[in-house]
Amino acid sequence: MNASNSVKKFSYKEKVISKVCSFNRRHKAFKLFGILYAIIAISVYNFLFYFYRNSKRFTCLACILLFFVASSSFSYPGMALTISFASDFETVESQTSESSAVADTTVEESDAELALIEDVDSEVIKEAMSSENPDVAEAEHLNPERQATLNDILNAGQVIEVNGSDDGALESDTYTYSNSSNTDEKAEEYPEFNSDDWKIMLVNKQHPIPDDYSFPLGTITGTMRCDERIIAPLLDMMKAANAEGVSLIICSPYRDMDRQTMLFDNKINRYMQAGMSYMDAYNLASQAVTVPGSSEHQVGLAIDIITDGYSSLDEGFGNTAAGKWLSANSYKYGFVLRYPAGKEDITSIEFEPWHFRYVGVDAATFMVQNDICLEELWSTYVN
C-alpha cells in the first residue's frame, strides 16, 4: 500500500477548524476572532458550494424567468381603462390643471392612434359634457320637427291599430291604471314577472337587444315613431298631465341602429378632440350615450320628455312641474323613470329625469312601491 494512500484527506470544514484551533492555542486573547472566522468561512463555503452543486437547476430557472419577462413586456396596455361613471371627469380635470402648472398635459393615445400625444383640453371635455342631453348629441330635442305636443298628436289624425281597432282614434279602454295605488308602502305581495314579457325586457350594456327581436313600429306624429303598443298609454298620460295644467312634450323616441351609432361616435370624437385616447373616450362616452345595440330607444320603449319653458334635457328638468308630475304619476300609465338618482352604480347611467321607459302598469307600480329600478326587478323578481 502506497504511503500517499494512507494519508487521511481532510474536508474544507475540518481544515478550517484545525487552523482556528491552532490559532486559538497560540493567541488565546483572540480566541473570539478565530471562532468568528471559522463560522464565516464555513458558511460562505457552504453557500457557494450549494449553488455550484445545483448550477444546472439555477441556470434553467434563470432562462425561464428571462423568457417570461421578454414575452410579457408588451402585454400590458399603456392606456388608462378606469374612467368611472360620472365623477371621474372631475379627476381628469384636476389632474390636467395640476400637471399644466409644471408642463403641458399630455395623454398617450392607443396603438390604433399610432401613439399620438396631444394636450388634453379640459374646456372641450366640459363642452362635450355640457347640460345638453348627452344622449342626443345633435340636440334634436331643440328641433320643433323632432318634438310632439299633445295637440300635435291629436291633430295629426294618425290611424293606429290598438287591439284590432282601426277607427283613427287612440283607444285605451283595455288598459287598467292603478290610480289608487299607495306608493308610500312597499308591496308585501308582488305579481309574477316573466322574462318573456316584452314590456319589461331588459336592455342595457350587459343585455343588448336580441338579434331576433322584432316589434310593431307605430307613428306618434310626423317622423316620430315608437313601439305601437305604448302609444295609447302615452297619449293617456299626456292627457292626464294636460288636465292638471302640466305640459308634456315628446322628443327623441325610437332611433334606429344607424342613428344610435352616429350619436355614440360623435361623443367619442368630441372627447378625442380634447386629447383623450380612443379607449378613454369610449369609456367616458358610454356613461352618457348608450352603446349602439344596447339602447332602449332602439326598441321603441323609451321616450324623452321636455316641457314648455324648459327644453334642456338635464337634471334641472326634474325640478320642473312636468318633471315632478311625471315622477309622481307616470307609473299609473305604465311608465317609469328609467335612470333614477341614487341608482347610478346599478344602471351604469347617470340620473336622467327626462328619460321614461314603458314597462306596463303592474311592473311600474311595483317598482315605484319598492323603490327599485329595472335591473333590480330582474335580479330579484323576474322568473
Which residues, at least 6 apart from 134, have a Cβ–Cβ distance to it below 8 Å? 267, 288, 289
Q: Are 304 and 253 in contact (CB under 8 A)?
A: yes
Q: What is the DSSP letter of 9?
A: P
Scored b (16 or more CB within 10 A) or e, 51-64 reads eeeeeeeeeeeeee
Q: What is the Cα Rg of the chain in Å?
A: 36
Long-range contacts of 126-133 (CB under 8 A, 24+ apart): 126/93, 127/270, 128/267, 128/270, 128/271, 128/274, 129/89, 129/288, 131/312, 131/314, 131/316, 132/312, 132/313, 132/314, 133/252, 133/304, 133/312, 133/313, 133/314, 133/354
- Alpha-helical (H) ranges within 115-209 are 122-128, 150-156
User: Partners of 13 in the beta sheet?
Assistant: none
352 is catalytic: yes
Q: What is the DSSP letter of 193?
A: B
- Give me the catalytic one of 109, 132, 296, 352: 352
Sign, Cα dihedral of 128, 133, 137, 139: negative
Phi, psi of 381 (to 5 degrees): -115, -5
Cα distances from 367 to residues 41, 137, 184, 362, in angstroms, run: 79, 30, 12, 9
* Burial of residue 241, with CB atoms counted within 10 A of its CB: 0-12 exposed, 13-18 middle, 19 or more buried: buried
Handedness of CA 297, 302, 308, 313 (dihedral sign): negative
Strands 117-119 and 106-108: antiparallel
176: phi then psi, degrees, rounded to nearest 5:
-110, 120
Residues tagged active-site: 352
